[in-house]
Structure 1
Amino acid sequence: MADGDLTMGMIFLSQTITGILGNFSLLSHYLYLYLTGCKFRSTDLVIKHLTVANCVVILSRGVPQTMAALGMKHFFSDIGCKLVFYVHRVSRDVSTGTTCLLSISQTITISPRNSRWAVLKLKAHKYISPFNISCWMLYIILNVIVPVYMTGKRKDNNITKKVDHGYCYAMNSGKHITSFHAALVFFQNVFFIGLMLWSSSFMVFILHSHRKQVQYIHGTNVSSRSSPESRATQSILVLVSTFVSLSILSFIFHICLTVFKNPSLWLVSIYVLFAGGFPAVSPYILMSHDSRVPRLCCACTRNSKRPT
């Protein structure tokens, strides 16, 4: 094994372990909240779906890519390659859609009661669960074409145009289909990123207006301690910023993979590294701004003693 392959394997291994520990810790956090009877926020259901999707992304792509980088390249059959890439693509798209939904949901949550979002604030929680389920079903249907172009490395067809992922081959589907797929990915990313940037800008505007109003009422003696809603909004803003940055970088490398005839394994590895960055770091961003994590027991005790 070359030193470069070992280095890349250790990087993938670190990212995979970090992502698995973070996402399972976040799921355990919500399980503990449920068992102790803590009150859930309106965005918690979205975060749980996002965490599940990120777990599937890491397990379906991070683990095989780590094994391939460490020298194990023939562990998937042809059917296995088709299945694992299909699962990865579905979960990755769900992660994108759910992150967008999380940003919009928090925008509705913190919007003033006299704004145009006032009606949605009362009804938004009713539509979150159906939207999450519809998101999974939609991408399960839209990505049925993905397995057609994946094949295992054991099946040695004389493919001249292919992308070597280390453990599977992605066959070139032709100029027109490749261009259509690249355009579809581009417009999908632009649509979701546009919605996230719009909702994030609106959240920043609301927080800034609220802070100015509080300073006007209380003067300069304003507590530096932010409210739970403010901390939740800040976490989602950091989350969206991280997602947009990594998505742009991964999309640039995705275009390179599409344009080049036989891209190198290093280029594929860098693309996978950027694509797997968000599922690995997102749980730590969410937990770092959640006031219920460090003071969980105290918060649950106060909620349980508080009269209804």
Structure 2
Amino acid sequence: MIPLDRLLGVVIFFQTGIGVQGNLFLMYLFSFLFFTGQRLRPIDLIFTQLALANSLLLLSKGVVQGLAALGLKNILDDIGCKIVFYLHRVGRGVSLSATCLLSGFQAIVISPHEPRWIKLKVRVPRYIIPSLLLCWIFHILQNIVILVKLEGPRDTGNTSETKDYGYCSVNVTTDISESLHALVISLPDAVCMTSISFTTGYKVYLLYKHHKRVQQVHTDSVSHRAFPETRATQMILLLVGTFVTFYLLNSILTGCMHSITLKPWIVHSSAFLAACFPMVSPFVLIKSDPQIMKYYRVVQGRKSPHTE
């Protein structure tokens, strides 16, 4: 029987490869269209940055965590540990912020056609690029503390102050300043999660109301067909539900990791859960947004040679 650690290592490598390919596909698609002068939607900017953040999140830990699960221990020095943890935290933070921004943008787009909402719909696209830049700048600066305070163990025999993450070990402290820092780090996550939950509930409510109105005017002959609103609602629930589920499971497991002696399978399982949404999200977006496949056909048409 294959040991659990080895099995998790194979799964993490497979997960990283699939997720990176899906996110790179979106990045390549939107970049090609942009540089060839094609008109893109404002929401495509969010998709691009979400794919970039997800790729950074997957690549920063996926490879080293997979190697650690396969038996290559402590393969990074102090600088390597700093870079991996830093890039992972930045990617995770931007992915969360971009998902929050995406959820809010979609809520505004499908809002009622009232004067106050129409004005907001016109203005919102102007703020997408500044908002995305702010997300990157905020998380880049917020996580600088990792580069300053994180360090490999200087005394590997003192295991009570050392956490072994497989690919590297780090010294940890338990004073009140560290707890306060953890609280400050978690506040933006809590704000984003609250916003995502609220906007998702609002979107589902609007789509449900619209579906009921449309259903009333349909004849019995087509009453059993699937309405576009139903599919859109299902995709919104799938995307956000996937994000919230894996985020909460990983947060719970991460919290446990700070209070217990780490077992290898716990560390690898946490890395697997953290990478689930970045792996799944590009395929959910491709499935739920028909315009993405239209873009793909445009790209294929421009790259294919013309035949007589």
Q: If the TM-score is normalised by the length of the shorter chain, which range does it land in?
A: 0.7 to 0.9
Alignment of 1:1-308 (within 5 A): 3-34=3-34, 38-114=38-114, 116-152=116-152, 157-159=156-158, 160-220=160-220, 221=222, 224=225, 234-260=234-260, 262-296=261-295
Displacement after TM superposition at 1:192 (Å): 1.3
1:122 counterpart SS class: helix
TM-score of the two chains, using structure 2 as the length reference: 0.86
| Greater alpha carbon shift after TM alignment, 265-274 vs 31-40 | 31-40
Partners of 2:98 and 2:142 lie apart in 1 by 16
Displacement after TM superposition at 1:39 (Å): 4.0
2:173 counterpart SS class: coil
Residues 264 and 149 of structure 1: CA distance in aligned 2, closer, same or farther (over 3 Å): farther
Deviations 1:121-152 (A, max 9, x none): 00100001001001111111111111234334
Partners of 1:141 and 1:83 lie apart in 2 by 14
Q: Is the CA contact (8 Å cut-off) linking 2:9 and 2:268 kept in structure 1?
A: no
Residues 293 and 42 of structure 1: CA distance in aligned 2, closer, same or farther (over 3 Å): closer
Name 1:306's counterpart in structure 2: none
Residues 61 and 47 of structure 1: CA distance in aligned 2, closer, same or farther (over 3 Å): same
Residues 13 and 128 of structure 1: CA distance in aligned 2, closer, same or farther (over 3 Å): same
Displacement after TM superposition at 1:32 (Å): 4.5
1:111 counterpart SS class: coil
Displacement after TM superposition at 1:211 (Å): 1.6
1:123 counterpart SS class: helix
Q: Is the CA contact (8 Å cut-off) linking 2:29 and 2:299 kept in structure 1?
A: no
Displacement after TM superposition at 1:8 (Å): 1.6
| Greater alpha carbon shift after TM alignment, 23-32 vs 78-87 | 23-32
Q: Is the CA contact (8 Å cut-off) linking 2:8 and 2:269 kept in structure 1?
A: no
| Greater alpha carbon shift after TM alignment, 181-190 vs 12-21 | 181-190
Partners of 1:38 and 1:300 lie apart in 2 by 10
Partners of 2:151 and 2:186 lie apart in 1 by 25
Partners of 2:299 and 2:74 lie apart in 1 by 50
1:117 counterpart SS class: helix
| Greater alpha carbon shift after TM alignment, 52-61 vs 173-182 | 173-182
TM-score of the two chains, using structure 1 as the length reference: 0.86
Partners of 1:53 and 1:14 lie apart in 2 by 19
Deviations 1:227-284 (A, max 9, x none): 5x88666534321111111111011111101222x32222111111111111111111
Unpaired runs of at least 5, structure 1:
302-308
Partners of 2:232 and 2:52 lie apart in 1 by 19
Partners of 1:181 and 1:265 lie apart in 2 by 26
Unpaired runs of at least 5, structure 2:
301-308
Displacement after TM superposition at 1:40 (Å): 2.4
Partners of 1:216 and 1:210 lie apart in 2 by 10
2:42 counterpart SS class: coil
Task: Identify the structure with the greater helix proportion.
Answer: 2
1:76 counterpart SS class: coil
Alpha-carbon RMSD: 2.7
